[in-house]
Amino acid sequence: MVETLAESVARLASLDREVVAIAWLSLRVSLTAVLVGALAGIPLGALVAVVRFPGRQALVGLLNASMGLPPVIVGLVIYLLLSRSGPLGPLGLLFTPAAMVAAQSVLVTPLIAALTRQIVADAEAHLGDQLRSLRLPPWRRAGLLVFDVRFSLVTAILAAFGRAISEIGAVLVVGGNIDGFTRTMTTAISLETQKGDLALALALGLVLIGLVLLVNAAATILRAYAVRAYG
Protein backbone atom coordinates (compact mmCIF):
# COMPACT_ATOMS: atom_id res chain seq x y z
CA MET A 1 0.00 0.00 0.00
CA VAL A 2 2.71 2.45 1.00
CA GLU A 3 4.77 1.45 -2.03
CA THR A 4 1.78 1.91 -4.31
CA LEU A 5 1.16 5.32 -2.79
CA ALA A 6 4.77 6.35 -3.32
CA GLU A 7 4.63 5.18 -6.94
CA SER A 8 1.37 7.10 -7.40
CA VAL A 9 2.94 10.32 -6.27
CA ALA A 10 5.76 9.75 -8.75
CA ARG A 11 3.22 9.07 -11.51
CA LEU A 12 1.38 12.28 -10.61
CA ALA A 13 4.46 14.25 -11.58
CA SER A 14 4.34 12.77 -15.07
CA LEU A 15 0.62 13.32 -15.63
CA ASP A 16 0.12 14.59 -19.11
CA ARG A 17 -2.39 16.56 -21.09
CA GLU A 18 -4.63 13.51 -21.39
CA VAL A 19 -5.33 13.54 -17.66
CA VAL A 20 -5.98 17.26 -17.74
CA ALA A 21 -8.50 16.72 -20.54
CA ILE A 22 -10.23 13.94 -18.58
CA ALA A 23 -10.39 16.07 -15.43
CA TRP A 24 -11.74 18.99 -17.45
CA LEU A 25 -14.48 16.82 -18.97
CA SER A 26 -15.46 15.49 -15.53
CA LEU A 27 -15.63 19.00 -14.21
CA ARG A 28 -17.65 20.32 -17.16
CA VAL A 29 -20.16 17.46 -17.11
CA SER A 30 -20.72 17.58 -13.35
CA LEU A 31 -20.88 21.37 -13.10
CA THR A 32 -23.37 21.51 -15.98
CA ALA A 33 -25.49 18.82 -14.32
CA VAL A 34 -25.39 20.74 -11.04
CA LEU A 35 -26.43 23.92 -12.86
CA VAL A 36 -29.39 22.11 -14.44
CA GLY A 37 -30.17 20.52 -11.07
CA ALA A 38 -30.08 23.91 -9.33
CA LEU A 39 -32.28 25.61 -11.94
CA ALA A 40 -34.87 22.85 -11.58
CA GLY A 41 -34.35 21.75 -7.98
CA ILE A 42 -34.25 25.07 -6.12
CA PRO A 43 -37.62 26.37 -7.40
CA LEU A 44 -39.14 22.91 -6.97
CA GLY A 45 -37.87 22.53 -3.40
CA ALA A 46 -38.87 26.08 -2.43
CA LEU A 47 -42.39 25.69 -3.82
CA VAL A 48 -42.89 22.36 -2.06
CA ALA A 49 -41.80 24.05 1.17
CA VAL A 50 -44.15 27.01 0.81
CA VAL A 51 -47.26 25.80 -0.98
CA ARG A 52 -49.79 23.64 0.91
CA PHE A 53 -51.49 21.06 -1.29
CA PRO A 54 -52.86 17.55 -0.89
CA GLY A 55 -50.21 14.86 -1.17
CA ARG A 56 -47.48 17.27 -0.13
CA GLN A 57 -46.16 15.00 2.62
CA ALA A 58 -45.95 12.14 0.15
CA LEU A 59 -44.04 14.33 -2.30
CA VAL A 60 -41.62 15.40 0.44
CA GLY A 61 -41.04 11.75 1.30
CA LEU A 62 -40.48 10.94 -2.35
CA LEU A 63 -38.00 13.81 -2.75
CA ASN A 64 -36.07 12.74 0.32
CA ALA A 65 -36.00 9.12 -0.80
CA SER A 66 -34.81 10.03 -4.29
CA MET A 67 -31.64 11.50 -2.82
CA GLY A 68 -30.66 7.84 -2.71
CA LEU A 69 -31.41 7.03 -6.36
CA PRO A 70 -28.87 4.42 -7.47
CA PRO A 71 -26.73 6.00 -10.22
CA VAL A 72 -26.51 2.79 -12.21
CA ILE A 73 -30.32 2.56 -12.38
CA VAL A 74 -30.58 6.19 -13.48
CA GLY A 75 -27.91 5.41 -16.07
CA LEU A 76 -29.79 2.39 -17.32
CA VAL A 77 -33.09 4.28 -17.68
CA ILE A 78 -31.39 7.16 -19.51
CA TYR A 79 -29.59 4.59 -21.67
CA LEU A 80 -32.89 2.98 -22.67
CA LEU A 81 -34.42 6.41 -23.38
CA LEU A 82 -31.48 7.64 -25.47
CA SER A 83 -30.71 4.37 -27.26
CA ARG A 84 -31.36 4.42 -31.01
CA SER A 85 -34.09 1.89 -30.32
CA GLY A 86 -35.55 4.05 -27.53
CA PRO A 87 -38.02 6.97 -27.63
CA LEU A 88 -35.31 9.67 -27.72
CA GLY A 89 -33.04 7.72 -30.07
CA PRO A 90 -33.28 10.15 -32.99
CA LEU A 91 -31.43 12.76 -30.90
CA GLY A 92 -28.32 10.61 -31.22
CA LEU A 93 -27.15 11.53 -27.72
CA LEU A 94 -26.13 8.12 -26.38
CA PHE A 95 -22.39 7.82 -25.66
CA THR A 96 -21.91 11.62 -25.65
CA PRO A 97 -21.09 14.08 -22.86
CA ALA A 98 -24.64 15.43 -23.20
CA ALA A 99 -26.01 12.03 -22.18
CA MET A 100 -23.79 12.08 -19.11
CA VAL A 101 -25.05 15.56 -18.23
CA ALA A 102 -28.64 14.33 -18.58
CA ALA A 103 -28.05 11.33 -16.30
CA GLN A 104 -26.24 13.34 -13.64
CA SER A 105 -28.92 16.06 -13.78
CA VAL A 106 -31.53 13.42 -12.97
CA LEU A 107 -29.35 12.30 -10.06
CA VAL A 108 -28.77 15.72 -8.51
CA THR A 109 -32.10 17.48 -9.11
CA PRO A 110 -33.97 15.61 -6.34
CA LEU A 111 -30.99 16.05 -4.02
CA ILE A 112 -30.99 19.82 -4.51
CA ALA A 113 -34.79 19.97 -4.30
CA ALA A 114 -34.92 17.98 -1.06
CA LEU A 115 -32.18 20.01 0.65
CA THR A 116 -33.68 23.29 -0.60
CA ARG A 117 -37.08 22.27 0.73
CA GLN A 118 -35.64 21.63 4.18
CA ILE A 119 -33.63 24.86 4.28
CA VAL A 120 -36.54 26.97 3.00
CA ALA A 121 -39.01 25.27 5.37
CA ASP A 122 -36.73 26.09 8.32
CA ALA A 123 -36.46 29.71 7.20
CA GLU A 124 -40.20 29.92 6.81
CA ALA A 125 -40.69 28.66 10.36
CA HIS A 126 -38.73 31.72 11.48
CA LEU A 127 -40.16 34.31 9.10
CA GLY A 128 -43.48 32.75 8.15
CA ASP A 129 -45.86 35.02 10.09
CA GLN A 130 -44.27 38.21 8.87
CA LEU A 131 -44.17 36.90 5.32
CA ARG A 132 -47.76 35.74 5.32
CA SER A 133 -48.85 39.14 6.60
CA LEU A 134 -47.53 40.60 3.34
CA ARG A 135 -50.20 38.56 1.51
CA LEU A 136 -47.91 37.65 -1.35
CA PRO A 137 -48.64 34.84 -3.80
CA PRO A 138 -46.79 31.59 -2.89
CA TRP A 139 -44.23 31.87 -5.68
CA ARG A 140 -43.24 35.34 -4.47
CA ARG A 141 -42.92 34.04 -0.91
CA ALA A 142 -40.82 31.13 -2.15
CA GLY A 143 -38.64 33.57 -4.07
CA LEU A 144 -38.09 35.79 -1.05
CA LEU A 145 -37.25 32.83 1.16
CA VAL A 146 -34.78 31.43 -1.37
CA PHE A 147 -33.11 34.82 -1.52
CA ASP A 148 -33.00 34.87 2.28
CA VAL A 149 -31.30 31.44 2.52
CA ARG A 150 -29.13 31.80 -0.59
CA PHE A 151 -25.87 31.33 1.29
CA SER A 152 -27.10 28.13 2.98
CA LEU A 153 -28.03 26.76 -0.43
CA VAL A 154 -24.34 26.72 -1.35
CA THR A 155 -24.01 23.62 0.82
CA ALA A 156 -26.84 21.92 -1.08
CA ILE A 157 -25.11 22.76 -4.37
CA LEU A 158 -21.81 21.40 -3.09
CA ALA A 159 -23.48 18.20 -1.94
CA ALA A 160 -24.93 17.82 -5.44
CA PHE A 161 -21.55 18.46 -7.04
CA GLY A 162 -19.98 15.85 -4.76
CA ARG A 163 -22.56 13.29 -5.79
CA ALA A 164 -22.15 14.06 -9.48
CA ILE A 165 -18.36 14.14 -9.76
CA SER A 166 -17.85 10.98 -7.72
CA GLU A 167 -20.43 8.71 -9.32
CA ILE A 168 -19.49 6.17 -11.95
CA GLY A 169 -22.60 4.03 -12.46
CA ALA A 170 -24.50 6.52 -14.60
CA VAL A 171 -21.65 8.02 -16.64
CA LEU A 172 -20.25 4.59 -17.47
CA VAL A 173 -23.56 3.28 -18.81
CA VAL A 174 -24.63 6.33 -20.83
CA GLY A 175 -21.17 7.63 -21.74
CA GLY A 176 -19.48 4.34 -22.59
CA ASN A 177 -16.05 5.42 -21.26
CA ILE A 178 -14.88 6.34 -24.77
CA ASP A 179 -11.22 7.33 -24.83
CA GLY A 180 -10.84 11.07 -25.42
CA PHE A 181 -14.57 11.66 -25.65
CA THR A 182 -16.59 10.41 -22.67
CA ARG A 183 -13.87 9.15 -20.35
CA THR A 184 -14.25 10.84 -16.96
CA MET A 185 -12.09 10.69 -13.85
CA THR A 186 -14.18 7.93 -12.28
CA THR A 187 -14.40 5.75 -15.40
CA ALA A 188 -10.67 6.24 -16.01
CA ILE A 189 -9.88 5.18 -12.42
CA SER A 190 -12.07 2.12 -12.86
CA LEU A 191 -10.38 1.27 -16.18
CA GLU A 192 -6.86 1.55 -14.75
CA THR A 193 -7.91 -0.60 -11.78
CA GLN A 194 -9.23 -3.19 -14.25
CA LYS A 195 -5.94 -3.12 -16.11
CA GLY A 196 -4.21 -3.82 -12.83
CA ASP A 197 -2.34 -0.51 -12.94
CA LEU A 198 -3.20 0.29 -9.35
CA ALA A 199 -0.57 3.01 -9.00
CA LEU A 200 -1.99 5.02 -11.91
CA ALA A 201 -5.54 4.41 -10.65
CA LEU A 202 -4.58 5.75 -7.24
CA ALA A 203 -2.80 8.73 -8.80
CA LEU A 204 -5.96 9.59 -10.75
CA GLY A 205 -7.93 9.18 -7.53
CA LEU A 206 -5.71 11.74 -5.85
CA VAL A 207 -6.31 14.14 -8.74
CA LEU A 208 -10.07 13.65 -8.39
CA ILE A 209 -9.98 14.29 -4.65
CA GLY A 210 -7.85 17.39 -5.29
CA LEU A 211 -10.41 18.59 -7.83
CA VAL A 212 -13.26 18.17 -5.35
CA LEU A 213 -11.27 20.02 -2.69
CA LEU A 214 -10.54 22.85 -5.11
CA VAL A 215 -14.17 23.29 -6.11
CA ASN A 216 -15.25 23.24 -2.47
CA ALA A 217 -12.58 25.76 -1.49
CA ALA A 218 -13.60 28.02 -4.38
CA ALA A 219 -17.24 27.82 -3.31
CA THR A 220 -16.38 28.57 0.31
CA ILE A 221 -14.27 31.58 -0.64
CA LEU A 222 -16.92 32.90 -3.03
CA ARG A 223 -19.57 32.43 -0.37
CA ALA A 224 -17.55 34.29 2.26
CA TYR A 225 -16.90 37.09 -0.21
CA ALA A 226 -20.59 37.28 -1.14
CA VAL A 227 -21.70 37.29 2.50
CA ARG A 228 -19.43 40.25 3.15
CA ALA A 229 -20.48 42.10 0.01
CA TYR A 230 -24.21 41.41 -0.02
CA GLY A 231 -25.11 39.67 3.24
Binding site for another protein (CB under 8 A): 28-29, 31-32, 35, 83-86, 89-90, 92, 94-95, 97-98, 101, 176-179, 181-182, 191, 193-198
Least CB distance from residue 216 to another protein, whole Å?
A: 17
Least CB distance from residue 157 to another protein, whole Å?
A: 12
Reduce the DSSP state of residue 73 to 3 states and report it: helix
Of 63 and 161, the one with the shorter C-beta distance to another protein is 161
Least CB distance from residue 208 to another protein, whole Å?
A: 18
Of 64 and 190, the one with the shorter C-beta distance to another protein is 190
Least CB distance from residue 101 to another protein, whole Å?
A: 6
Of 85 and 130, the one with the shorter C-beta distance to another protein is 85
Angle between helices 97-133 and 56-65 (to 10 degrees): 140
Least CB distance from residue 153 to another protein, whole Å?
A: 13
Type of residue at 18: E
Of 94 and 144, the one with the shorter C-beta distance to another protein is 94
Of 63 and 82, the one with the shorter C-beta distance to another protein is 82
Least CB distance from residue 38 to another protein, whole Å?
A: 10
Q: CA–CA separation, 179 vs 156, rounded Å?
A: 32
Any alpha helices (H) in 51-197, and if so which ranges? 56-65, 71-82, 97-133, 138-148, 150-166, 169-175, 185-194
* Integer CA distances (angstroms), 89 to 84, 99, 136, 171, in order: 4, 11, 44, 18
Q: What's the angle, vertex CA 81, arms to CA 75 and CA 184, rounded to 5?
A: 35
Contacts of 114 (CB under 8 A, 6+ apart): 45, 60, 63, 64, 66, 67
Q: Residue 77 burial (CB < 10 Å; 0-12/13-18/19+)?
A: middle
Of 182 and 186, the one with the shorter C-beta distance to another protein is 182
Q: CA–CA separation, 28 vs 183, rounded Å?
A: 12
